[in-house]
Amino acid sequence: MPEVNSVSGPLNTSGLGFTLMHEHILVQSPGVKENFPIFDRQAEIDKAVQRLNDVQARGVSTLVDLTVANWRDIPFVKEVVAQSGVQVVVATGLYWEVPHFFRAQSGRSVDFIADLFVRDITDGIMDTGVKAGIIKCATDEPGVTEDVERLLRASAKAHRATGVPISTHTHAASEVGLKQQDIFEDEGVDLSRCVIGHSGDSTDVVYLKKLMDRGSFIGMDRFGIDLFLTTDKRVETVVKLCDEGYAEKMVLSHDAGCYFDWVDAELRPKVLPNWHFNHIPDDVIPALKEGGVSDEQITAMTVDNPRRIFEAQGSY
Ligand SMILES: [Zn+2]
């Protein structure tokens, strides 16, 4: 039986269950909490455990935490996993705002970066004993810049060396998912091993079908970020694609976080009231059913597709 690296150790893919494929336990701006007294660690752990208990009570058993390497705090995630019992898969990889250390001008090669990602997957992240189970990479509105391309290629190389899946961040409006696929293809990647993320920010089914027709899964993974697109519109798009037979190629998530320092903690629920882990079980799934999506299609998007994404394994 295939296994996936999780925070609590190797996990049989058949035990993944209802999986949210793009979430975050903690997202922190690098260097802030180490230098200013802004972070009450124990209080944040308690809050995170509560949020994970709440979502587990709704039938969710696994979260894929796609926090990039320079924003993560694996000991924090370990503690939250130990206290909540939720299954969490963490990522290696870097964001589209490429740290100076990894830029072309640093003189460090793509292979050097790929080796660091591989180490996170095969040996574990620093001395935490936790191994990454997925590779995250990102392309936003500026597109595939030279430095972003280096990270996409390093991610592809690390994927081919380890077999763990790739999951991306995109700016859907500029259709950069297709450009990511071009680079992955150029690196010899089987596109069915990739999730093109944040595709649910788009209602353009022609673009979305192109991504899936090339073999990839797409992440309808920002439910609750109403500022980008309302839940109604996101639901409508998923319903349309299910009607056309694409339930086997979509996964659902929120891109939400427990601790997320980009927005003030008091302000966040006021601006984005639906942006939390419970929105899909509480509101989105009932709305999809009302739109005519079958129970089998819901199971495909929440259970079967995540399992298939992690089940395909091996280097090549
Ligand atoms: Zn994210």
Mean pLDDT by 10 residues, the chain (316 residues): 94 97 97 94 98 98 97 97 97 97 98 98 98 98 97 98 98 97 98 98 98 98 96 98 98 97 93 97 98 98 98 92
Let me know: does 285 contact 277? Beta carbons within 8 Å.
Answer: no
CA 283 to centroid of chain Cα atoms: 21
Alpha carbon of 67 to ligand 1 centroid (Å): 6
Alpha carbon of 168 to ligand 1 centroid (Å): 9
- Provide the pLDDT for residue 305: 98
Report all structural domains of the chain as residue ranges with CATH numbers, in order of start.
3-311 (3.20.20.140)
Alpha carbon of 22 to ligand 1 centroid (Å): 6
Let me know: does 139 contact 179? Beta carbons within 8 Å.
Answer: yes
- Provide the pLDDT for residue 1: 75
Tokens 């997202």 sit on residue:
27
Tokens 């996993």 sit on residue:
81
Alpha carbon of 79 to ligand 1 centroid (Å): 21
Structure tokens at 119: 């180490």
Alpha carbon of 291 to ligand 1 centroid (Å): 27
Q: Between β-strands 3-6 and 9-12, what pairing exists: parallel, antiparallel or unpaired?
A: antiparallel
The DSSP output letter for 187 is: T
In one-letter notation, the amino acid at residue 308 is: R
Alpha carbon of 255 to ligand 1 centroid (Å): 5
Residue 166's closest CA among 174, 175, 86, 177?
177
- How long, in residues, is the chain? 316
Dihedral-angle region of residue 248 (phi above 0 means left; psi in -120 to 50 means alpha; beta otherwise): alpha
Alpha carbon of 23 to ligand 1 centroid (Å): 6
- Provide the pLDDT for residue 31: 92
Alpha carbon of 69 to ligand 1 centroid (Å): 12
- Provide the pLDDT for residue 177: 98
CA 315 to centroid of chain Cα atoms: 21
pTM for this structure?
A: 0.97
Three-point CA angle 21, 88, 282, nearest 5°? 55
Let me know: does 91 contact 65? Beta carbons within 8 Å.
Answer: yes
In the chain, the N- to C-terminal Cα span, in Å, equals 19
